[in-house]
Structures are given as structure tokens and as C-alpha cells.
Amino acid sequence: MKKLARIHIGLVGLALLGFGGQALATTACDTGPLASPPISGTALSGTVVGGVVVNAGATCLINGANVSGGVRVNPGGALFVCSSTINGGVTSNGAMEVVFGAEELNCGGDTINGIIKISNNGPGIFGPKPSIAIERSILNGGVRLSNNQGLMSVSQNTIAGGLACSNNAGDLIDEGEPSIITGKVSCKFVDEE
């Protein structure tokens, strides 16, 4: 009976290792503080397998990368993505800043395959610029923005999968360059002042 129990425990351990291996391969990204715009500094680039996580207090610049496994930004992290492809989507909850393809930061557009979900974002670290900027990118999976506090810009994108907003402190801006969106849109855009 003890032998069967050991075999069972061994098999469970192997199964957890096999199915949980992706979580173990996640790359923690902290490229250090960025110089104020235009963005410069060390970047995560090249091929990244297993996804990326940005933890509290970390600033992550992803530039010229091909990420498989998605990106997760934890509370207090900041993410800047330039000229990159992310397969697996992006999830952010409580970040300081989340920026994709912002030309103000001299940042090229991105391709995101998977949904982008950003919630509970703060007012940003480069104020008064948007704390959420999703610009000049191809987004295959849609965008969901909820309970965010800072200025939000969604402009010059091609979005497949809709654009949904709920309980944000303000409406979106598009900097005079609207996105092409297929799918349901529940966000309101306002003119910049």
C-alpha cells in the first residue's frame, strides 16, 4: 500500500511539473527606471517564452520582443511596450502605468494576440500624460478597461474583439486619431482639452 502511495505522489508531482511548468518559466521584468520621455534605457527584447510578469515597484520596458505566454502587471508595476509582439494577451491590475506604442515616448506600435484587461490603474508616473496609452497597435482579442483613475488614450489601433469600459474615472481620448474597432464598443471618447 505504501508503494502505491509513493507512486501516486510521484505521478502527481510529475503532472504538476508538466502542467505548471509555464508558471515556473515566467520571466520577471524589471529593466529599471526609465528616463523621462522619450523612453530610453535597458529593455527586455528578443524571444521570451513562458510569459512576463511585472511586480510591485518594477518598471518593465519591452522593446523589439516576441513574447509568448502573455504579460501580467501586478499592483504597483509599470509596463511600457514598444515594437513588440505579445502572444497570450496582457492583464494588469493596480499598475502605475501601462503604455503600448505611444509616439510621444518615441515608441513603435505593437501586435497583441489575446485580450488586454487593465483594471484599477493609478494616475500614472509621467503625468499629465495618460497612465494608460494603447496606441498605433494591432490588437487581436479586444480591450477591457475598468476602475482606472488616470487619463486613458486609445488611438490609431486596429482592434478585433471590441472595446469595453466600466467604472473608470474618466472617458477615453483618441488624440484626434480614432481606432478601427470590430466588435462591441461600450466606451465613450471625449475631446482633449
pLDDT in tens, 174-188: 999 999 999 999 999
pLDDT of residue 1: 47
The secondary structure of residue 3, as a DSSP letter, is: H
pLDDT of residue 46: 96
Write down the domain spans for the chain: 26-182
Mean residue pLDDT of the chain comes to 86
The mean pLDDT of 41-55, rounded to a whole number, is 94
Residue 96 contacts by C-beta under 8 Å, 6 or more apart in sequence? 76, 77, 78, 121, 122, 124, 125, 131
Global pTM?
Answer: 0.85
Cell of 42: 535597458
SS3 182: strand
Q: Residue 18 pLDDT > 50, yes or no?
A: no
Q: Residue 65 pLDDT > 90, yes or no?
A: yes
Give the pLDDT band (50/70/90) at residue 4.
very low
